[in-house]
Amino acid sequence: MRITYLFRSPGTGHSIETLFATVRQAVGEQTGTAPDAVYLPHISRGLREVWHNLRFIRRQRFDGVIHVTGDVHYAVLALPASRTVLTIHDCIPLERFRHSPLRYAFFWLFWYYLPIRRAGVVTAISEKTRRDLRRYLGRIADKIVTVPNAVSPAFRPQPKPFSTEKPVLLQIGTAPHKNVARLLDALKNIPCTLLLLGPIAPGLRDRLRQSGIDYESYQHLDLADVVALYVRADVVTFASTYEGFGMPIAEANRVGRVVLTSAIAPLCDVADGAAHLVDPTDTEAIRQGIRQLIDDDVYRQQLIKAGYRNARRFAPDTIASRYREQYQRLIPHH
């Protein structure tokens, strides 16, 4: 069975491409042939770029199953429906444009409703995303199946002594929904070094200066450098107010780092008992959670052990097998 992964244009982002590089390798190991990778030529900034991408897709001669790996859902509209898999990561455009009727209607129709209706198989990366799609789209979303993300084999157990005097905290992501402002308030007067992975907007940079927190800022890192940040960390913080999945939880679990995250879906589902859960809107709860992870060695070790167990759910071979089941639905005679 020939499989092609269709990715958004290089320069749009890295997260989806990194996730599916792991799946692609695992599928290749299981089948003997890694899926082909095709990248769209244009970043989907406007209607013109979308149109050129659709024309590009129509010119391709795809054999076997075509898997649209995320973000550019509209690509399904130019593909043979009976051989197309679509993966949806989140509903952020629908959340973002709730109060802009025209934009909302455009994304609802061309990014979600029509692609989901057309694709032979649709997967969501979490039950939360699947439920959100059901809420936004109604019964048409009943066809969606959940297949979680896989943790890259670059993440592996790397135990280290915990630094209680001045722990290193790693925060993955700096966008508004990553809740960094409340994290900074929670860290007031807690000696630590904060590692921030993501661009620092001017307002956040001002908050960092005012906080007096010892911090380091990183962006545009390759996978090996990201792994190195996890290894260096004592605690991984991920108290987001909205997520489609929550990869840093599973990655920290795999490396053997204790995690503080939000008591909201899908983060609590991904953690499954292997993280300290807090109300992301409660600064004092975040503060108390961080203090407990620093001060309570027994509790910390329990979470780390639970994390190693939890990470097995996201092993690349497990996730690759689940995607292969979906591919077989489209070409059952192979």
Q: Are 308 and 253 in contact (CB under 8 A)?
A: yes
User: Structure tokens of 166?
Assistant: 């001045």
164-194, pLDDT tens digit by residue? 999 999 999 999 999 999 999 999 999 999 9
Q: At what angle do helices 247-255 and 297-311 cross, to 10 degrees?
A: 110
How many whole angstroms separate alpha carbon 100 and alpha carbon 204?
26
Q: Cβ(68)–Cβ(86) under 8 Å?
A: yes
Over residues 243-249, mean pLDDT = 94
Stretch 96-112: mean pLDDT, rounded?
95
Residue 16 has pLDDT above 80, yes or no: yes
When mean pLDDT is compared across 114-123, 169-178, 324-333, the lowest value belongs to: 324-333
Q: What value does the mean pLDDT take over residues 105-134?
A: 97
Which residues are within 8 A (CB) of 165 and not within 5 positions of it... i.e. 6 or more apart?
Answer: 191
The confidence band for 334, taking pLDDT boundaries of 50, 70 and 90, is very low
User: Whole-angstrom Cα distance, residue 49 to residue 103?
Assistant: 16
**Over the stretch 63-83, which tens digit does the pLDDT of each residue have?**
999 999 999 999 999 999 999
Kindly report, residue by residue over 21-57, the tens digit of the pLDDT: 999 999 999 999 999 999 999 999 999 999 999 999 9
**Is-contact 194 233, C-beta < 8 A?**
no
259 — pLDDT class (breaks 50, 70, 90): very high
Q: How far apart are CA 197 and CA 126, in angstroms?
A: 23
pLDDT at 61 over 70: yes
pLDDT at 215 exceeding the cut of 70: yes
Q: What confidence tens digit (pLDDT) does each residue in 127-152 have?
A: 999 999 999 999 999 999 999 999 99
The one-letter code for the residue type at 82 is S
What is the rounded average pLDDT of the residues 251-274? Answer: 97
Share of the chain above pLDDT 90, in %: 94
Q: Which residue from 326, 331, 316 is spatially nearest to 29, judged by alpha carbons? A: 316
Confidence of residue 13 (pLDDT cuts 50, 70, 90): confident
Quote the CA–CA distance of 281 and 188 in Å, as a whole number.
16
Residues 6+ apart with CB under 8 A from 248: 172, 173, 236, 238, 259
CA–CA separation, 242 and 57 (whole Å)? 32
pLDDT value at position 332? Answer: 63
**What predicted TM-score, i.e. pTM, was given to this entire model?**
0.89
Whether residue 333 has pLDDT greater than 60: no
> Residue 80 and residue 65: Cα distance in Å, rounded?
9
